[in-house]
Structure 1
Amino acid sequence: MENKKSYLKSPDLLPVTHAQRKVSAFGFSVIWVGMAIVLAAFAIGGSAIISLPLPYVILATLVGSVAIGIFMTLIGDIGVEHGISFPVYMRAPFGTLGTHIPSIMRGFTAACWFGINSYFGSTAINGILNLLFGFDNWILCFIVFVTLQLINTSLGIKSIERFADLAAPVIILISCWMYSTLADNAVSQGKDVWSWVESPATGVAGFTAFMVVVMANMGFWATLAADMPSLSRFFKAPKNERSWFKRNKTQLMGSLVVMPITNTFMVVIGAVCYMAVATADPIQALQASANGIILGVLLLMIVLAQWSTNTSANVIPAATIFSNVGGPKVPFWVGVVITGILGSIVQPWSLFDVLNSLLLIIGGILAAIVGILFADYYLLRKRRVNVSALYELDGQFKYVKGFNLAGLIAWIIGGGIANIFPTYSSLIGFFVGAGVYYVLAKYWWFVKYPQAEIMNPRDELYLGITAGRDWHIGDSPYTETEPNLVPETLEQPVTQKS
């Protein structure tokens, strides 16, 4: 009975208090450099340059990056305001059990990304070892690289930030070197980097190609847009600050400035990579255009880039979700292991060639979740949340046997319609998901199941940091247990005062 009452209160999922938030605006920007320098972005550039010249590829990437950055920042306010993670807040629009359905999909997607990035990193490690010692066994490198990343993530958010502090400047310098090497190779073949296109698309076809790049970039980061609260709950923010922009300044610089610039640079390198050696696979490109110490250093950049991306953007969100699904019996470190296993058994080395198509599908499905979160948090609850009830098995968010049908129906409709029109999947998914959920929740579901914060939206009861409030969840046997792993900043939770 005790476990039944308390499984929603796993210590890794309890709210983060103001004093426990350690990540600054600079720290998040540095983390973003590490996250955005990811080789899968090369596939977008390599595919785009076939139909569009580089200036249009850059413009489309910036548009898509800024658009998804806005979504990230909007949804990230959930973590900043209330200190709660994505799977916990999802109990509001989907129910205490319904949250597991979209959450598991998000977690599985993150695990697949972890596998893809680990594959690139392992082939780069194999290339370095082959260069230095004649060693050639990328599978062994893959196993070792996966293990090292999982250990790093298990050490906590500050360990990840310190790693990003070290890796980010090295990655930036080597990325510039990488671009220069590939661009010189392309120029030596008589190709103008800024105007060369393999099969130019014009008119309607050109606009469609442009929008595919926009949507691919949005789909690329749609997973993190939905899951940003899992990171943003650790961000520093001022108490009693009514200005949304001042309260979210840690997010704004990273998601609206650093990410678009860094992501665009990666897409550009992928495009130049294709120009130079007719493939967007950076490992093949580097081995064809560099040698000796230069090749070794460039391959090292690939290892650092994949490592820093995986820890923040993939392993933390996936492990948090799996911990939420499993309850206290699945602590965060077990979620980390599950992520590593799933990311390996999907055979990520076979996913790169179909990545762009997958991004459009994934983007629409996850953008619908982002739209539902936006409608629930901003339009219906107006940022006020009955956080204590999110941890109650038989409380406000139980709905019908743990399911909010308004959220599930809106997700199915939003994701389904988005994938009928894949060229605009992320935008359609967001707006259809938000619109359908708003109508169903406001005029049907919340009429049957009244929400305390909507019926009585008092700031002192339902706002978090804006009202100077830290949420403390009591009545759990786990409040006396040392919290685990990534939430290393979740020091000792305290019992809620009446």
Structure 2
Amino acid sequence: MALKHRVVENIRLHGDEAQHEQTDSWSNRDLIPLPPSRRTWGWFHFFGFWAISSLNISNWQTPNTFLTRGLSVGQSMMIIVLGRLLIAMFSTLIAWCGLEWHIGFTVQNRYTWGMRASYIPLLQRILLNFIWNAVQCWNGGRLVAVCVTAIWPSFARIRNTLPASMPTTTYEFIGFVIFWFLSTPFLWIRPEKFKLPFQVISIYCGLGMLCWMIWALARAKGVGLLWDTEENIPAASGWNSSWLIMSGINQMLGGIAAGITNGSDFSRYAQGPKHYVAGTISSALVTGTMVSFVGLVTASACQKIYGQVYWNPPDLLMVMMDNGNGSSKSRAGVFFLSAGFALTGMFENICGNAVAGGIDLAGLFPRYIDIRRGAMITFVAAWVVQPWQLINRATTFIAVLSSFSVFLAPIIGLMACDYYILRKRKVRLSHLYRTEDSCYYFWHGLNWRAIPAWLCGWAPTVGGLVVNVRGDFNPPRALVQLYYMAFFIGFFTSATIFLILNKLFPVHDMDQYDDIDVYGTFTEAEARKLGVIRLDDSPGMAIDESVESVTVNDRRKEKF
């Protein structure tokens, strides 16, 4: 027993109590409201954060998704601009709680779902983090394989030594292994220290994409026929351009719904709201749109050069260096381009999946898991998930994951309704980290109102998800129409039903908050704006005494 006790103590987390970093079943250093000393992200951090999530293969290929359905180039770019604008708006809407109260998604859901029921959205996020981390590692591995081929051309012809039961090749698997191991050291960087990677990678990859487009235009002496694509919806489609545009906007929002959901995980690191807003809007909107535009122009110009449209950058890069048999100049150019894509994919994966997964896992086991440990667990899980099986075999499973926004949009709707309408942007921080006498414990840790509201949000659209994934030849039109609006239906339906249930079965004092800054969270200006007394202004007050002295604020302060 003594040995077991020592082992448990060695792996248990220990925070600095003087900095209010208590570690228990609901709290640790990475879950508490962030103090000013840890809020280091300026506008360029958020610019880089969104740039890294934009400078990727998926965003590069986005126009192809809409062109193949028969839409014109102008219509496709309109979808991308509108989609990016809505992404910036919804992201800011959900991230605002982190900007004001400096808590992340893991804690934020406790006041909506209840202390124990908050595990429902948390477990969904953890599942997605595990799977998308594995898939991103595999896609990054393909780019690493291109880099290796550019250095050693014979690598492209390496003999496949893997058994037939593995739906991949030695070439692809080695790229995955290299990418995974190169990524691992960066997991030790805490989010407060992400500025340099954001700066270097976003500038490197952004310039690389622009240079690639300029080279393609110069070599082709203009843009290819792809650029002149007009609307040509197949007669067998059964959908007009309006419905296809609606579907495209829904698809763009759905593709980043997971990132919108946990926006407060990163917004809480902001030095101030203006830094988040400036960085997010300028990058999520402008950079995201430009990457799709550059991808479209490059693919069109390369069509004139190679006689075929290559949307997938790794495939186009291999063609550019003739599968490793090209000149040293072509291989050098391909190396730097593929390295830029790979580095961007690496940090997009680390931020969006590994670090986010670490925060979510910390919410499950606060005594033993912090961001670093959780990120490592998420990364190791890639070997359990086996992405080579998912990418090369289970196309249906990937389609389901891509459509998981059907379940996430209702969660976003609940979060927005609860924070802005019901709680009037007021949160009682001290009650988010305990179950005894917590106003967020509700009924046995469950706010039952959230469950039916969430279910009603995805019930109308899940049928369309099923027929879409199955690829039914002639599905019910109504189901598909609902699915084409899944994000908006899920968001507004859940928000409305949650609001109605709270009006019919009200929770008293929903807009209460702590009179005293229990965790030393706020700056002097923030405390003054919120009407909160800072601990520094209450000399001699111990942390335990301050928690017990916090009373329900019935003054309904309107300083927000």
Give TM class, smaller chain.
0.7 to 0.9
What residue number does 2:345 align with? 306
C-alpha distance in structure 2 between counterparts of 1:40 and 1:471, whole Å: 46
1:326 aligns with 2:359: no
Please report how far the alpha carbon of residue 44 of structure 1 lies from its aligned counterpart in structure 2 after TM superposition. Answer: 3.0
1:453 deviation in Å? Answer: 4.2
2:481 is the alignment partner of 1:438:
no
Q: Deviations over 1:184-238 (max 9, x none)?
A: 788889514143667568995212221222111111111111101100110002x
Q: How does 1:36-51 map to 2 (within 5 A)?
A: 36-50=54-68, 51=70
Root-mean-square deviation (CA, aligned residues, Å) is 3.3
| Residue aligned with 1:193, SS | helix
Cross-structure match for 1:477: none
The more displaced of 34-43 and 382-391 is 34-43
For residues 240-251 of structure 1, what are the structure 2 equivalents within 5 Å?
A: 248-251=273-276
Instruction: Give, in angstroms, the shift of residue 470 of structure 1.
Output: 9.0
Equivalent-residue separation in structure 1 for 2:219 and 2:408 (angstroms): 38
Superposition pairs for residues 49-448 of structure 1, below 5 Å? 49-50=67-68, 51-133=70-152, 134-135=154-155, 137-181=171-215, 191-195=225-229, 204-237=239-272, 248-271=273-296, 276=303, 277-290=308-321, 291-349=330-388, 350-351=390-391, 357-358=399-400, 361-394=403-436, 395-419=438-462, 420=464, 421-444=482-505, 446-447=506-507
| AA in 2 matched with 1:229 | S
Per the alignment, in what secondary structure is the counterpart of residue 329 of structure 1? coil
| Distance (Å, rounded) in 2 between the aligned partners of 1:430 and 1:83 | 24
Q: Deviations over 1:163-197 (max 9, x none)?
A: 11111111111111233456678888951414366
Work out whether 1:35 is the aligned partner of 2:29.
Answer: no
Deviations 1:357-404 (A, max 9, x none): 447622232111111000010000011001110101232222222222
Letter of the 1:176 counterpart: L
Worse-matched range after superposition: 270-279 or 133-142: 270-279
Q: Which has the higher contact order (CA 8 A, sep 6+)?
A: 1
How far apart are the structure 2 equivalents of 1:347 and 1:272? 35
Q: Which residue of 2 aligns with 1:15?
A: 33
Does the 8 A contact of 1:323 with 1:335 survive in 2?
yes
Q: What amino acid is the match of 2:284? A: M
Range moving further from structure 2, 336-345 or 297-306: 336-345
Which amino acid in structure 2 is aligned with residue 302 of structure 1?
A: F
- More deviation in 293-302 or 333-342? 333-342
| Contact 1:9-1:328 within 8 A present in 2 as well | yes
TM superposition shift of 1:103: 1.4
Per mean C-alpha deviation after superposition, the further-off stretch among 134-143 and 156-165 is 134-143
Q: Could you say what secondary structure the match of 2:229 adopts?
A: coil
Q: Give the Cα separation in 2 of the matches to 1:317 and 1:25.
A: 20
**8 Å Cα contact 2:147-2:335 kept in structure 1:** yes
Cα offset, 1:467, TM superposition: 2.0
What letter matches 1:366 in structure 2?
A: L
Contact 1:35–1:312 (Cα < 8 Å) also in 2 = no
Change (3 A) 1:398 1:316: same
Instruction: Determine the C-alpha separation between the residues in 2 that align with 1:198 and 1:31.
Output: 37
Distance 2:348 2:85 in 1: 19
Give CA-to-partner distance per residue, 1:48-73, whole Å, 9 cap, x none.
12122222111101111111211111
Inter-partner Cα distance in structure 2 for 1:186 and 1:368: 47
Distance 2:336 2:96 in 1: 39
Whole-Å Cα distance in 1 between the matches of residues 78 and 545 of structure 2? 50
* Aligned-residue offset at 1:355: 9.1
Q: From 530, 536, 540, give the equivalent of 1:467.
A: 530
Greater displacement, 342-351 / 68-77: 342-351
Q: Which moved more, 1:355-364 or 1:340-349?
A: 355-364
| Amino acid aligned to 1:6 | D
Q: State percent identity of aligned pairs.
A: 20
Unaligned runs of 5+ in 2: 1-8, 13-22, 159-170, 322-329, 465-481, 536-541, 550-560
SS at match of 1:235: coil
CA contact (8 A) 1:38 1:117 kept: no
TM-score normalised according to structure 1 size: 0.83
* TM-aligned CA distance change 1:263 to 1:496, over 3 Å: farther
Change beyond 3 A, Cα 1:399–1:162: same
Within 1, Cα distance between the matches of 2:295 and 2:130?
23
- Cα distance in 2 for partners of 1:376, 1:142 equals 42
2:275 aligned partner, one-letter code:
T
Q: CA deviation at 1:83?
A: 0.9
Q: Which residue identity lines up with residue 467 of structure 1 in the other structure?
A: L
Please report how far the alpha carbon of residue 320 of structure 1 lies from its aligned counterpart in structure 2 after TM superposition. 0.5
| Distance in structure 1 (CA, Å) of the matches to 2:266 and 2:73 | 33
Larger Rg: 2
Q: In the alignment, is the contact (CA less than 8 A) between 1:374 and 1:434 conserved in 2?
A: yes
Give the aligned residue type for 1:95: G
Q: How many residues align?
A: 462
Distance 1:424 1:84 in 2: 31
Report if the CA contact (8 A) 2:430-2:514 is conserved. no
Sort the Cα spacing of 1:148 and 1:412 in 2 relative to 1 into closer, same or farther, 3 A. farther
Measure the CA separation in 2 of the matches of 1:342 and 1:470: 44
Contact persistence 1:39–1:282 (CA under 8 A) = yes
- Contact 2:516–2:534 under 8 Å retained in 1: no
SS at match of 1:9: coil
C-alpha contact 1:8 1:391 (8 A) present in aligned 2: yes
* AA partner of residue 9 (structure 1): S
Structure 1: any 5+ residue segments left out of the alignment?
238-247, 473-492
- Code of the residue aligned with 2:24 in structure 1: it is S
Q: Where does residue 490 of structure 1 map in the other structure?
A: none
